Amino acid sequence: MVGCILTIELDLAFFRSLADCDAANARVQYRLSRMRSGEDVVRFFTQYASWNGRFANGVAALASLIGDSRQHFQEAGFARATADRSNYVASFIFDAARDEYDDHISPMRDTHRCMAQASLISMADFYGLGDDVLNEPDPVALSEVNDAVMFGYRGRYQGSGGAVGEIFSGMGYHLGSELLADREFSLIDEHLRGQRNDLVQHLMRSTIELAGGKHRCYAWVGVHSGHGGAVEADHFEFAVSGVKAGLQYLVGSSQDVAISALTNGFRAFAEDHRKFFLIGAN
């Protein structure tokens, strides 16, 4: 099968139908409401940064998985050496990794992980907490959802789809992360500005030097929020384009197998999202 006709519309409405986004948003808001003290704030964001820090590596692994699958993505009418389109499909996924590893906002190398760490240091400083909370080990439930990230990006929720199922399951997991994270960061931004604006102003005025550069302390939330850089929304659109390109050039497997795996991966992320926001919610 080459150049198949897409039988469903892979748009925002389709992906929203795969998870209860309202319930996901409500869990985010409830978890934020449980932050009473400065220690609660720093602990939540330390755990959130731990989880978020896994996604850059997952995206890079997925892009490599796709790119290394030449036999599955071919364009008709070309000789063997010029027909594979796997790197082209992977490029839409790699767009997210490109930002994760260097956001290009400043002239120095500014990874999203460094942005998050700068935020944590500045938050702890604002609340006068020292390093005690930052030195706490991840709770078991967090370690489990952290480990699930690479599991999801490597396509382990494919069902019976084989190698093609792994690829599309990984893309589904990625799409879930980008769709839910866009609103998630916006809710965090809204909560902080509405309930802890003194902290926000401190973070916006502050920079932290680490990894050989000076990092702005509110940039992590700012670039991800829909009110700011909205990078998650951009990454979602890129990933949808990657899925469509993958289906366009797919050979040796059915569209139904691919979309089933895509759906499984998306729903798997939604479940991991649910698990994360239950940590510390009681």
CATH number at residue 199: 1.20.910
Determine, yes or no, domain membership for 19: no
pLDDT at 281: 82
Whole-model pTM: value is: 0.91
Determine, yes or no, domain membership for 16: no
Question: Quick one: residue 253, left, alpha or beta (phi over 0 = left, psi -120 to 50 = alpha)?
Answer: beta
Strand runs labelled E in 112-261: 207-210, 213-216
Determine, yes or no, domain membership for 273: yes
User: Which residues constitute the domain of residue 52?
Assistant: 31-278
pLDDT at 233: 65
Q: Would you say 99 and 235 are in contact if contact means Cβ atoms under 8 Å apart? A: yes
Determine, yes or no, domain membership for 178: yes
pLDDT at 4: 47
Determine, yes or no, domain membership for 162: yes
Q: Would you say 277 and 191 are in contact if contact means Cβ atoms under 8 Å apart? A: no
pLDDT at 6: 53
pLDDT at 106: 65
* Buried residues in 145-181 as b, exposed as e (16+ CB within 10 A): bbebbeebbbbbbbeebeebbbbbbbbbbbbbbbbbb
pLDDT at 51: 96
pLDDT at 104: 63
Query: 4 vs 15, 38, 43, 245, CA distance in Å?
Result: 20, 54, 48, 10
CA distance 27 to 184: 10
The H or E element that residue 45 is part of is helix 38-52
Determine, yes or no, domain membership for 51: yes
pLDDT at 159: 75
pLDDT at 147: 96
Determine, yes or no, domain membership for 7: no
Determine, yes or no, domain membership for 18: no
Q: How many domains does the chain have?
A: 1
Q: What is the pLDDT of residues 138-149, one digit of tens each?
A: 999 999 999 999
Q: Which residues of the chain have pLDDT under 70?
A: 1-8, 103-108, 224, 226-233
pLDDT at 112: 87
